[in-house]
Structure 1
Amino acid sequence: MSEDAGRRAFHRPVYRPAESLESVVGGIDPLEQVEAAHRTAEIVVGRGRDTDDPELTARLVGLVRELGLATVAEMWSDRPARTLPGALWRLYLLHEWVQRRPDEVRRLWTAGEGRAEVYRVIVGVAEPPDPMALAAMTGEVLTGVFSGDLAVALERAAAFCHVMAVGLVEPGVDDIPPEQVTRAARMRDTADDLTACARLWRLDALH
């Protein structure tokens, strides 16, 4: 998908309380749901970047905990990867994966970091890279969406996906399960998409 495909008219977000986001996506036709996905993404990011309230930032980072993964998926998971809602969905999903499967994530990170050192440095995981450090990193990425350089946050997440992809496919192992190879390919695709989103954000074209 080209970067131009992610372009759409930008409307300055108008804040709505978190509890109202659920109602935006319910009982509407497909065209309205597309518009709602972009509108809610703009609301969440715009509200987060317009405030210096750490409590609100923490609530936005914990949006999945507050609304539930199914609600967040309903809002954003169907949107193209190189759009604002598509990028947000992938960031929240990565954070949930790290929290829910800490041992798997640590194993893949350990397997991949030595063969993806440039990406490891970009990610910036604290040493030692235990589950708490990895979860803290994805939390920092989401915090950066709202109170830092969003493009840098996307690039850190992309680098993390690259390390995970390398960890999924160990060299010299002949019997890697096909589903694991597929997961690695999807991780690389996600990394490419998040990198593209970072470029689009810098061009004021991620909507």
Structure 2
Amino acid sequence: MDPAQADRIVGRADPAMREAAAHRTASAVLRRGHDGADAAEVDRLVRLVETEGIEVVAELWADSGADTLPGALWRLYALREWIRRSPVEIAQHFALGSRRAQVAGVVAGAAEPPTPDEMRRVADAVLAGAITADLDVALDRASAFYRVVGTGMALDADLQDLPHGDEAAHATRRANNLVRTADELRDAARRARAGTLE
């Protein structure tokens, strides 16, 4: 390959530039929401993944640490997209988990019974709250939501008597990942309250 051909190969952006772009775009989303965006603009920001595509948002923010603004926003958008794609499964796991993690269920803010439509409403409300009002409160709510669903997923595996095998391992890993994300969002909420989530 000659140097001219090598120059035409498109590589990934410089990691420092990607990180800077992630922070700038995340800040821009919040700034737009906090600067008195009307209901239509807030709705457009909430539906960012639907209009721009999950891949575009993931490319911007998914590699950002959970203790950063873009990383925290990515987890909120990922939650909304997950609920949008699997509302029945999530409602079932939320119902199971809220029996065990009752306080987290209340913090998440879902009405009983947690129907698929209610799950979608909660996801939209959490994201809209992050965009327009108190980011820390929205992150706490999302953390609680992830914790309840993770608890429900683990209980579901127990109820279906999945103590061994690939299916049990997969359900347990998913539940653990959700609880870990809940912990990350709880820490991000603390940073947001302290003014150090950047």
TM-score (norm 2): 0.87
Alignment of 1:185-200 (within 5 A): 185-200=176-191
Structure 1 residue 48 displacement after superposition: 1.0
Indicate the residue corresponding to 1:63 in structure 2.
Answer: 48
The answer for unaligned runs of 5 or more in structure 1 is 1-25
Match 1:44 to one of 15, 22, 29: 29
Higher alpha-carbon Rg = 2
Name the counterpart of 1:108. 93
**How many Å apart are 1:27 and its aligned residue?**
6.6
Aligned-residue identity in percent? 42
1:52 Cα deviation from its structure 2 partner: 3.7
Give 1:91's aligned amino acid.
L
Displacement, 1:34? 1.0
Mapped partners of 2:108, 2:176: distance in 1 = 19
Q: Partners of 1:127 and 1:169 in 2: how far apart?
A: 20
- Runs of at least 4 residues of structure 1 off by over 3 A? none
Counterpart position of 2:67: 82
Describe the superposition over 1:106-129 as per-residue Cα deviations: whole angstroms up to 9, x where unpaired: 121122111111111111112321
Distance in 1 (CA, whole Å) between partners of 2:113 and 2:92 is 13
Secondary structure at 1:57's aligned position in 2?
helix
* Cα root mean square deviation, aligned: 1.5
Q: Equivalents in 1 of 2:12, 2:99: separation in Å?
A: 48
Distance in structure 1 (CA, Å) of the matches to 2:71 and 2:78 = 11
Number of residue pairs the alignment of both structures matches: 182
Letter in 1 for 2:172: V
